A and B are shown apart, each in its own frame.
Chain A
Amino acid sequence: MNRNGFVLTAVAGAALFCAMPMAARADSAALEEAKTYVTRAEAAVSDARAAIENGKSALVRVPEDSPLMEDVKQMLESAAENWAVAVESLKGASESAAKVGTASSESVAKDYALLAKVNAGVAVSGSRVVQIALRYVEAVADNKTESLDIIRASMQDATAAASQVQFNYERVKTLIAEKYSK
């Protein structure tokens, strides 16, 4: 091999040697990020669980003949739906975060981290909707009628925003699937 060929090979080898630890660092950063999102989602689901417990005791205080009983029922139905979504999404986020560490390449690790992030987002938004719904029940139980309008409007806006989170989660799943089907 002549001198120039040797230099070219040395440069390529050095670049590959430097690229390998960089890829390992990127994987661990993705793993840390995924874990952060999952931790946040776990905290939100825990808050929602506490809100459900408070809501049970508040519901007992709502008079049966209250004119707002219909609203309370709708809030509780919405809370139940969003609780199921939050729990399911938290499970999905944890599974995706676990796969980041065992991914076959940096690109796959990043995709799993992204899935963990959006799944965690769905879990957080579902949990917050549950909390808003149960705050409404609490306001009715404690006769805090001046806050009902604000909480009702917040619930409508939050439900719309939560559906946007789920829509974008589906979008991310589709885009990632398309990348690997090409």
Chain B
Amino acid sequence: MALALTADEEALLESDDPAVRKSMELLVRLGDIYGAAEMVEIASAQASGISYKSIGDPGVEFLEGFAEEGAEVRVSTFANPAGMDIERWEEMGVSPEFADQQRRIVAALREMGVTISFTCTPYLAGNLPRRNQHIAWAESSAVSFANSVVGARTNREGGPSALAAAITGRTPRYGLHLPENRTPTHQVHVEPSLETQSDFAALGAWTGRIVEDEIPYFTGIDDAGTDDLKALGAAMAATGAVALYFVEDITTDDAPPAAGQGTGVESLTFEPTDLADEYDELTDTEEADLIVFGCPHSSVEEIERVADRVEGETIEGDLWVCTSRSNKAWADRMGHTETIEAAGGSVLSDTCNVVAPIEEMGYESTATDSAKAATYLPGFGNQQVKFDDKLAILEEATK
């Protein structure tokens, strides 16, 4: 075995507890595949593969089986969205058969000690890592945020490997756990001014396609809030597999890398025409029978912006504002939920348009300000998509 284990880790590999043993075996094998020299202890985990739509009956069986074998997480483990709002699924149009299976997943997770957070934004919902902290997170947009905005260290875990890491408290030390693998490979100069969250999403979609799984360093961005960075990272992780990026003066104090011929760092320019073209690239239709915001899950500020815009109006078609249950609590308390629902929309928690069985609910076209959603919906949800800024979409829907 190429990977060196501590005495504690050897003990985990020989554990009487089958779930611990299998988890450790999996991590050791993955470590071998990736050339890790050793394991590293983790501070938290994020589990993906939570929605019944994503994992199906085999996933339900696996999670129940694991829970039955006594699997228990050793570190704080938050979970990705489920296929439904666990309280309001019936209202959403989810079938009782789907709900039953989803509830089995929830029960298995609970038994394992996983926090029933059901959000892709754990960092906004109570699981905020610190800089340089080793964690094992699945969910590509959360991985991007944790690495890039927080400065923590995680690879793009899969559902089972993140769960295995949670159960053993460790992950193989490879990839982005190593400082030498966290340097930029591309310098992206952004020419146009990015005015809206959807502009950041568009930049992300364009960049992800080109950079794939490498590491971009952005210059030319004057300012970016948390929600903007959330949108940028999610888009890059959807069209590409970007797990780490840098934004000059915003996420890093490091100077831009030397780029161009002979440096090993490729130089790219994002032009105003690229921005406009990207909106077209992500759009198939001008019609939408559903509007979805919150991919990744909306912040309270985003929910407030929607509420302010639709107050007193009537929305044509359906509107979902997807968020974490914790953020919904603030939205409820501040009256934003009531305002949005009075206009005909819904503020949903625990779920999203990508992992809910949207294609079974009669929708054929969706409008969104998320480039991640715009990328996944045609395949996963059988949807035609309209991509635009939130306010532009709401303008159309309240005419």
A binds B: no
Binding site for A on B (CB under 8 A): none
